Amino acid sequence: MFQAFLIKYGEIGVKGKNRYVFEDALADRIRQVLKDVEGFFRISKEKGRIYVEAEGEFDYEEAVAALQRVFGIVGICPVVIVEREGFEELSSHVMSYVREMYGGQKKTFKVHTRRAHKGFPMESMEINAELGGRILDEFPEMTVDVHKPDVTIHIEIRGRIYIYSEVIPGPGGMPLGTNGRSMLLLSGGIDSPVAGYMVAKRGVYIDAVYFHAPPYTSERAKQKVVDLAKKVAAYSGPIRLHVINFTDIQMYIYDQCPHDELTIIMRRYMMRIAQQIAEDTGCLALITGESIGQVASQTVPSLAATNDVCTLPVFRPLIAFDKEDIVTIAKKIDTYEISILPYEDCCTTFVAKHPVTKPRVDVIRRSEKALADKIDEMVEAALASDEIIEVE
Ligand code: ATP
Ligand code: MG
């Protein structure tokens, strides 16, 4: 029945000159996700609207699912497009539309006409009243409610006439590419993929870094991170994943530093290395899945001690989220089932029995002095170990 979609997007931040940047980025991303959907699609922008029109047969379900992953879209309206002829022709199209969509259902409705093309012989109000009357006559179980109708039947008169009433929710957010690029510290856990998704939702391109510690962490643990990146990439677009060999640094910290401070010191080195890669690759910020109080390394003093080494902004979108709320999003974006697979990540191999929960920055800095001999060299070696995986 439908051969097109009207795409609704949020109005915030799209005023003035930015509007074109926003709309172009949205249209580009729509084009990109529809490439993988069966069918040929034409995307057009017209006076504050974006239309996706299929040429010939297409997979409706797949097209909707793809559009529901495009940030910036707030609503997807399946549209029937008819030629602009006289009122009788329009009326007959609208009657078949209503029959198909709501025939036999007890719905309240109203008709809302927008006449962008003034060539049509009747005014909007007149069209509303006349079509409303005919719908009542033809579908006696339907009644009019102009204030809170179950169904609003939109008629848009342009070069052609667009008829729609259904709005399928989109993910909201901002179109990708409208807000620069950031580096996600991606582990195999539940939180970091969700953090990446949330920042990407604000229009930010994502790259990622994973600290791998073979043989303490297995190839399967690494594959798990690649699989998670794939799930996030369905929303965020391609992710360049950097896999860094962290084993020597981890062992060295383990040998040289107090064991209750291991996690904090290790996290400081992760941040330093991630930051270096970010700077080398044009990322303007870091992203982590940290959340206050979740584990010993995420108390406020621990977060402060970790953040002490960062000069780039660190985005922690989950900082005040409860685990339950994070899990809800993880399930929605389909990362949860992968995240709970049991393969160890590099933090669990080297955790102390009683990690500090109130580290002092000056104490941690002093402990790190024990690494002075070899750490710079090791950081260089870790950076050189960078294995880049392009995740689509
Ligand atoms: P997650 O579920 O995201 O793994 P977590 O609750 O296990 O989080 P931590 O292990 O303390 O928390 O890690 C905090 C954050 O540090 C993670 O959200 C992630 O951004 C980053 N991180 C932890 N381990 C790694 C790793 N091996 N590689 C890359 N980033 C990591
Ligand atoms: Mg983790």
Tokens of 236: 């965020």
Which of the ligands is closest to the CA of residue 189? Answer: 1
Single-letter residue type at 335: T
| Residue 176 phi, psi (nearest 5) | -55, 140
Alpha-carbon span 92 to 98, nearest angstrom: 10
Name which residue sits closest to atom 11 of ligand 1, judged by CA.
297
Q: So what's the pLDDT on residue 12?
A: 57
Number of helices followed by number of strands (H, E) in the chain? 14, 15
Three-state DSSP state, 110: strand
Q: So what's the pLDDT on residue 346?
A: 52
Sequential pLDDT tens for the chain (392 residues)? 889 999 999 765 566 777 888 899 999 999 999 999 999 999 998 877 899 999 999 999 999 999 999 999 999 999 999 999 999 999 999 999 999 999 889 999 999 999 988 888 899 999 999 999 999 999 999 999 999 999 999 999 988 999 999 999 999 999 999 999 999 999 999 999 999 999 999 999 999 999 999 998 899 999 999 999 999 999 999 999 999 999 999 999 999 999 999 999 999 999 999 999 999 999 999 999 999 988 888 999 999 999 999 999 999 999 999 999 999 999 999 999 999 998 765 556 677 778 888 999 999 999 999 999 999 999 999 999 999 999 99
Contact 351, 260 (CB under 8 A): no
Q: Which residue has the tokens 């809800």?
A: 328
Q: Which residue has the tokens 């989109």?
A: 170
Report the residue among 182, 184, 190, 191 best suited for mutation to probe ligand 1: largest number of ligand atoms under 8 A from its CB.
Answer: 191
As a dihedral over the C-alpha atoms of residue 187, residue 193, residue 194, residue 199, rounded to 10 degrees, the angle is 110
| Residue 104 phi, psi (nearest 5) | 80, 0
CA angle, 137 then 139 then 140, to 5°: 75
Contact 182, 284 (CB under 8 A): yes
Q: Is residue 187 lining ligand 1, measured as CB closer than 6 Å?
A: yes
Chain centroid to Cα 211, Å, comes to 23
Alpha-carbon span 91 to 163, nearest angstrom: 11
Q: Is residue 113 lining ligand 1, measured as CB closer than 6 Å?
A: no
Tokens of 31: 């084009």
Q: So what's the pLDDT on residue 345?
A: 59
Name which residue sits closest to atom 30 of ligand 1, judged by CA.
185
Contact 264, 364 (CB under 8 A): yes
Tokens of 25: 């980025």
Contact 262, 358 (CB under 8 A): no
- The one-character DSSP state at 27 is H
Contact 176, 205 (CB under 8 A): yes
Nearest atom in ligand 1 to the alpha carbon of residue 184 is 20
Q: Is residue 175 lining ligand 1, measured as CB closer than 6 Å?
A: no
Contact 249, 382 (CB under 8 A): yes
